[in-house]
A and B are shown apart, each in its own frame.
Chain A
Amino acid sequence: MAAAAAAALRRRAYTTSMPPSAHVDMAIVGGGMVGSALAAALNANPLTRQLRILLLDRQLPLALPRQVPEWDDLCVSTLTAPTVDILRELGVWRSLSVAAAPFCDMQVWGADDGYVRFDATSVGQAVMGHVLEDSLLKAALHDQLRARGSTVQLLMPATAVAADLPPYSPAAQLEGGSFVRLQLDDGSSITTRLLVGADGCSSQVRQWSQFRCSGSEREQASLVATVATSWPNQTALQRFLPTGPLALLPARGGFSSVVWSCPSQMAAQLQALPPHELAAAITSALTSGTHYPPKPRRYVRPRVALVGDAAHSGHPFGLASQGVNLGFGDAKVLAAAIADAVATGQDIGSAAMLERQYERPRRQACSAMLSAADALRAIYMPQEGPVAGLRSLGLDLVNNTPLLKQTLLRIAMHGL
């Protein structure tokens, strides 16, 4: 039975620099940007290199093309400086920097007059951030994971269909066994000490964990398009409309990426419009009619940890596609926590360790960031009333007070 399972794993595994086995130390479900970054970070640290890590994803791994392709991908992310540092430490930034489009200033305004313009040079930085297609980032990380000397095992394509999670109380664990058992779609099963959910907004691992969630479901869609601008664009523009924020982000080759977050009905209408109604070269696509589920209250339980959108439930682009930066921060902190556990002989799946060293710092950082995004929306959405009235006044004030602007900018660039 075990031999058949191992044989099945061997057939399915995309790459094996280690012999496949049915028992691993860590199983990461979701080979997206954040899951791959976590695997790469663990692989880079000598303390955690020897852990048997498995990365599962429904799709085949990507590969970075030889030449920088024309900008045509619709899913983009804005990377802040801390994220770029993380990617540099992982050794993937060099190949990505040629493809990333930097921007030096950002302008934020609403439906009325007040606006704020941030300039990176005012805080002594050359660039404020980079805009990069998600697929390129993912491809670079996958290449890193398949490079020579990588000990991470990629299981792609594979889908996890069910998981047996250990109970919370230690006494119950003593009776029922304390590892996680993951069932795959081909019938094989894997036991692991730690299950990491990096499978995005509609995370299955989060559902299996049965965390209590708070907040309401929001239904918001994003219209993503690529436009050519009449003059080169090096500014990230974000306008908060009554229906949702619209962002124009610089991209390579004279293009810019439009990210428009609006109610799904409106997005559907926009999509139905003939092209010439919007602009000459907008290609419209809707992202997967995303429901943003309520946020889970916990990120960890015995032998389970959630990272990235699985933990934050995604957030409609409050600040120009910045969501992924939170996820990279999660990956970095979780990798450090696991390395620390290995150094002190702790169980990497221990709920106490995960809570103390991963969940607690990340919840602080993430709630601050998400509150800022929510606060921005709360500031910009109302069209009438005192908030609206004060808004342009406040924005003018910020725009004309260098010290205030620089402080806000430092926070925006380096995270909260």
Chain B
Amino acid sequence: MRKPLSELLATAGRAAASQTLHSWLISQPSVACLSSLSRSSWAASADFSGTAGSIPLDVPALKQQQPVPVPSTVGGAAAGGAAAGGAAARGAALPSPAAAAAAAPAAAAGGHGSTVNQQEAAKFAALAGEWWDPAGPFAPLHAMNPVRCRFLRTALCSAFGRDPTQPGPLAGLSLLDVGCGGGLLAESLARMGAHVTGIDVNQGGIATATAHAALDPDLHARLTYRTASAEQLVAAGECFDAVVASEVIEHVASIPAFCSALAALARPGGGVAISTLNRTPRSYLAAVLVAEHVLRWVPPGTHDWQRFVTPEELAAQMEESTSGGGGGAPLRLQLLSGMQYNPVTGAWSLGRDTAINYIAWFGKPPGGASPGVAHG
């Protein structure tokens, strides 16, 4: 149901402080994109038929019905948080809210195995189609993927001493993609030669990713997907050459805990890559006003501008949460790049302008604890 713009803008102002809309952060794309105007699919996916019929969702009810375990850094304090998806921890992906809404009543139906399976199987096809459909609701992500991969290639090659002009430069590296969603980024990294483990708390996304990876015999061997959270992997003591968290951090409840989890998963000599949205007036304009309310590409309330992180804050946060304690040396910001979208050409590019989207690489020093470094 469309509301007049003035009402929406008023609502947006209130919504920023409103916990109901906060809590409805079911993993929405946090990519500001001004591409083509064919976004009618959003109107369909925003119609939560079956549960609430309009936005905002009745999140506390969903939370009870959602079988997926909610990791501690996600959802957490802020009013029921993104519990319903748990998928808030999953990156820029966008599981169809309609699917989430449909899966919830199925789960609440009392765990009849056949009913749940049928529901999920039926929704699986829809999810799969949407995830990997370059013209579907994840189109902004598909358009942005080559650019963030280019940055990651540069960062990883310089960190591990590889030649970026050769094909398959990441051969032999083990990477972790936190919040991998449907596997968009994980597959690209695997194509560059790396062994990638993708984790997400959203089972639907993991199933899609696994199915898509099975199509390609070359990639299949280098991709592993699991339904898990970063904390669970830390608890299991796993370690990777590098960790990537793309379009995730703006959805977690506790950034310090998330940062230290990411850093703990990276081995010394490796590092962590994070991409997210900046908190600037321009990003408010682009990601909140234009994308949500003017162009209506994502439902209003998708992005909580207050939760965006500036590069300076992120760098400070990474240093603080990784220095001291048993964590070893603090992670330092080594590479930073903005990702800009050109609405005329419809192309993304890397550049210096970090005002809206940016991507950063933090290197973990090799060896043990660093000689006394004062943080801050």
Contacts and interface: CB of A to CB of B under 8 A. Distances in A.
Say if A and B assemble together: yes
Contacts of B166: 46-47
Given A49-B167, A344-B146, A346-B146, A170 B188 contact: no
B167 A46 contact: yes
Interface string A174-189: 1001110000000000
With a 10 A CB-CB cut-off, give which of A23, A177, A343 has the most chain B CB atoms. A343
A50 B168 contact: yes
B192 interface: yes
A170 B132 CA distance: 6
Interface string A82-125: 00000000000000000000000000000000000000000000
Nearest to B166: A46
Contacts of B146: 340-341, 344, 346, 353
Contacts of A174: 125, 128-129, 132, 211-212, 215
Nearest to B149: A344
A345 interface: yes
A23 B217 CA distance: 10
B298 interface: no
A47 B150 CA distance: 14
Contacts of A352: 134-135, 142-143
A342 B193 CA distance: 11
A295 B312 CA distance: 54
Contacts of A46: 165-167
Contacts of B164: 343
A165 B190 CA distance: 25
Contacts of B22: none
A25 to B, nearest CB: 9
Contacts of B132: 170, 174
A48 interface: yes
A350 interface: yes
Contact of A346 (B126, B131, B191): B191
A161 B275 CA distance: 47
A344 B134 contact: no
Nearest to A178: B215
A345 B153 CA distance: 9
Contacts of A340: 146
Interface string A326-350: 0000000000000011111111001
A169 B217 CA distance: 20
A200 B188 CA distance: 34
B43 to A, nearest CB: 20
A175 to B, nearest CB: 8
Contacts of B150: 343-344
Nearest to B150: A344
A344 B347 contact: no
Interface in A110-146: none
Interface string B130-156: 011111000000110111011001000
B189 interface: yes
Nearest to B215: A178
A351 B191 contact: no
B145 A346 contact: yes
A378 interface: no
Contacts of A49: 167
Interface in A166-210: 169-171, 173-174, 177-179
Contacts of B192: 345
- Residue of B133, B167, B187 with most partner-chain A CB within 10 A: B167
B347 A345 contact: no
Given A170-B129, A344-B146, A352-B135, 19 more contacts: A47-B165, A49-B167, A50-B167, A169-B133, A170-B128, A170-B131, A170-B132, A171-B125, A171-B129, A174-B125, A174-B128, A174-B212, A178-B216, A179-B215, A342-B167, A343-B153, A343-B164, A344-B145, A347-B191
The 5 tightest CB contacts between A and B, nearest first, are: A345-B188, A171-B129, A352-B134, A345-B191, A344-B146
13 contacts: A46-B166, A49-B167, A169-B129, A171-B125, A173-B215, A341-B146, A344-B145, A344-B153, A345-B149, A345-B189, A345-B191, A347-B191, A351-B134
